[in-house]
A = this chain, B = another copy of it.
């Protein structure tokens, strides 16, 4: 257990071209990076079967067990893939700090939407890798000009990560569902069936019903499914609320 974790840490933080010290023994014909790329390509494709050691091995022309010289187990593979895709995170830019925080949130949400399997990686025992650490640092860069107390920064960071994680996952799922079957038809069927199954909805949950009926006034983004656009709007709005709350003195 400890051994595995230490090895994982070393793999995460290895120097990019760091050859792993040659001794005796057969030459390696694969690289860890090649394995991570293959794994990511497989995991990203939601239409295809999900990530498995066999599929990764097939794609590289090896047997499944060959991967275990590079990676202790599937969890470690995913943990390494997880950090690696954070390298895609773009440079953040914007006219003012608030806009840059919004841009950061959009970028992280996009990352989670593109790589839906990111959500499967647990955060307990947080062994951050360098790329995920860079994403966090990028957020802190935007927050420093606001000059907030450390505890507030921590709360903001936690909230923003949670929000982006969730919104990104939702958007990813929604995009996939939209590809699989017609969205508006599904909603129509669904609400008809719902009327049937829960005719007393409005009486049992009056506030929910009222909120559902209340029109949206915030502008919606132009692209994506309806679910995606509302999720994005709520992400933006919530981010602004957080920033506004954090800016208060008291």
Which positions in A face B, CB cutoff 8 Å? 1-2, 5-6, 9-10, 12-14, 119, 122-125, 127, 130, 133-134, 136-137, 140-141, 144, 149-156, 158-159, 161-163, 165-167, 169-170, 173-174, 176-177, 181, 186, 189-190, 193-194, 197-198, 204-205, 207-208, 211, 214-218, 227, 230-231, 233-235, 237-238, 240-246, 248
Contacts and interface: CB of A to CB of B under 8 A. Distances in A.
A9 B197 contact: yes
Contact of A238 (B137, B155, B230, B248): B155
A125 B186 contact: yes
Contact of A245 (B127, B190, B245): B245
A98 to B, nearest CB: 12
Contacts of A162: 162-163, 165-167
A151 to B, nearest CB: 5
Contacts of A205: 133-134, 136-137
B208 A13 contact: no
Nearest to A162: B166
B241 A245 contact: yes
Contact of A208 (B140, B152, B215, B227): B140
18 contacts: A2-B186, A2-B189, A5-B189, A6-B193, A123-B166, A123-B169, A124-B177, A130-B198, A130-B204, A134-B205, A137-B207, A150-B211, A150-B214, A154-B237, A155-B234, A238-B242, A241-B242, A244-B248
